[in-house]
Amino acid sequence: MDFTLWDILRNLLTGLQWTLALSLVAFIGGGLIGLLVMGMRTSAKTGPRVFASLYIELFQGTPLLMQLFLVFFGVALMGVDISPWAAAALALTLFTSAYLAEIWRGCVESISKGQWEASASLAMTPLEQMRYVILPQALRIGVAPTVGFSVQVVKGTAVTSIIGFTELTKTGSMLANATFEPFMVYGFVALGYFILCYPLSLCARHLERRLHAPA
């Protein structure tokens, strides 16, 4: 079968859409779980703090590829049929949550102890302190590194091709084998990632300068 340039681009655009969809699911889901893990990591109680620390160490200390294999094949061994899309979304969400939790923990702990003491003197509960005093300040610090990490999430989706999820890299690989034009196809694949990642990198640098916060 002969592929025209439009055929190649059309298929790559479909793969790009799946890459974007997976990135959004992983980032939003990872953000929600990461917020919970961050709360546990900064808790005064030993149990939640230790659990969150182990959770973060597990996902930061093991390769994303291995996590994908464990989710995809491990769930199947339990008799549950899981699609490449579901496995990719779950693994990347958990991976993202661990990194976002640690980023946000650093932001929360960078707030001076005086802020905690001042809010405590107003008879605020720990939850009220976090909600009304600490988080608004930590958010200002955390915006730039959070946006910057989203670039890593987008690039991390490429690894999901190994379990058969047809995102941009997998689509490019199939097209390269079908057209015998690997240089051209992978050039377009690289361009697709650049189109997704470069604006995010620019945004992170802009926010870093504007908010005067370290990335």
The answer, as to whether pTM is greater than 0.85, is: yes
Q: Which of 86, 99, 95, 135 is nearest to 115 (CA)?
A: 135
Is residue 132 within a helix (H) or strand (E), and if so which, with residue range?
Answer: none
Q: For 102-122, write each residue's pLDDT tens digit.
A: 999 998 888 888 887 888 888
* pLDDT score of 124: 84
Q: For 131-166, write each residue's pLDDT tens digit.
A: 888 888 888 888 889 999 999 999 999 999 999 999
Instruction: Spell out, as residue ranges, where the chain has pLDDT lower than 50.
Output: 213-215
5-211 in CATH: which number?
A: 1.10.3720.10
Domain ranges of the chain: 5-211
* pLDDT score of 109: 87
Looking at this protein, which amino acid is placed at residue 143?
V
The CA-based dihedral angle spanning residues 89, 94, 100, 104, taken in that order and rounded to the nearest 10 degrees: 140
Looking at this protein, which amino acid is placed at residue 70?
L
